[in-house]
Amino acid sequence: MLDYVLNGLMQRYQERVPDVAGIIAAMINRNLIQVPEDIENDHIAFRTMGVPQLGIQSLEKIFLHYGYTKRDPYHFKEKKLDAWWYAPPAPQYPRIFISELRVKDLSEEAQRIIISYTDEVKADPVSKLDLDDGPAVDTFLHSALWRTPTLEDYQTLAAESEYAAWVIYNRYYLNHFTISLQNLPEGYNTVAAFNQFLEKEGFTLNNSGGKIKESPDGLLLQSSTVAKMIPATFAGNATHSIAGSYVEFAERRVLPQFAHLPAGELKREHRREGFEAGNADRIFESTYSSQTGKS
């Protein structure tokens, strides 16, 4: 079931984000992997609106049902976001990062706009789903929860919260998947080295706070591409380019207590786990106009 749902998410994501196929092709060309399935997916991420019937408490039910464990919370005061990460039921599955907008902390106008859409969802839609029905869950994750927004609402929201604007249009589309770097061949197995490779191949990296986001313990390093602008159709057939999704890269270093282990014996549990609020805060901006307007 979990495999079915994850495959469906990845398939739609690849179709929508040209950088995914581009990066995979570049990695195969450079002999870093033989087939796309060789990529280790560190985590996937979703965004949602923090309203009573939706938000983290709703979306997480799907993954808790598939055996994920809820782990640590993160808070982003400036961006008005909260997030949690979820550990997978087995090491071959990606971690999950789910964030939600603290709708109540926005201006009255922004709240009014958001609620006019989210109120179309009367009750927690996940409670009504048969979570053992893979196709039903896949369809749910890829269908509109509310009417297509107007361009005006989208722009009003974007002026106050780019995250809000992203979610009002994109809903539960996968926000990113994350290529694990530490097990790639020497010369490509760090964020620093992989960033160089990506830039030589012509990909644009998020440079908010620097291209390498590093946790204070020095053990979790991340980087990401900047989301490409994609044409979007709004209510009344208005069209406008908006930020799509992006690709992330993560290097998890070995914990000090396992530093003596030979490289061949290193497993996921020997490396830095979880996420880092300071890194995440900057990675969110991969879909913000400060980054997408750069190129």
Q: Which residues bind ligand OOG (CB under 6 A)?
A: 45, 47, 97, 99, 175, 222, 248, 275, 279-280, 283-284, 286
Nearer to ligand OOG, 106 or 174 (CB): 174
Closest of 43, 44, 45, 28 to residue 184, by C-alpha:
28
Q: Distance between CA atoms of 215 and 276, rounded to whole angstroms?
A: 6
Helix ranges restricted to H, the chain? 2-16, 18-29, 55-65, 108-118, 134-141, 151-160, 162-170, 191-200, 277-283, 289-292
Question: Contact at 8 Å (CB) between 247 and 17?
Answer: yes
Q: How many CB atoms lie within 10 A of CB 155?
A: 13
Q: Least separation, in Å, of the C-beta of 184 and ligand OOG? A: 18
Residue 60 as a binder of Ni ion (CB under 5 A): the answer is no
Question: Contact at 8 Å (CB) between 247 and 227?
Answer: no
260 contact partners, CB below 8 Å, separation of at least 6? none
Closest of 98, 96, 100 to residue 86, by C-alpha:
96
Nearer to ligand OOG, 190 or 279 (CB): 279
Q: Least separation, in Å, of the C-beta of 284 and ligand OOG? A: 4
Nearer to ligand OOG, 73 or 135 (CB): 73
Nearer to ligand OOG, 140 or 213 (CB): 213
Q: Least separation, in Å, of the C-beta of 177 and Ni ion? A: 9
Q: Which two tokens stand for residue 40?
A: 């280790």
CB closest to ligand OOG, residue no:
280
Nearer to ligand OOG, 131 or 243 (CB): 243
- Which of the stretches 20-28, 65-73, 199-207, 248-256 binds Ni ion when contact is defined by CB under 5 A? 248-256
CB closest to Ni ion, residue no:
248
Binds 275: which of Ni ion, ligand OOG, none (CB < 5-8 Å by kind): ligand OOG
Q: Distance between CA atoms of 201 and 112, rounded to whole angstroms?
A: 44
Site for Ni ion (CB under 5 A): which residue of 82, 153, 162, 248?
A: 248
The residues that touch Ni ion, with contacts defined as CB under 5 A, are: 45, 248
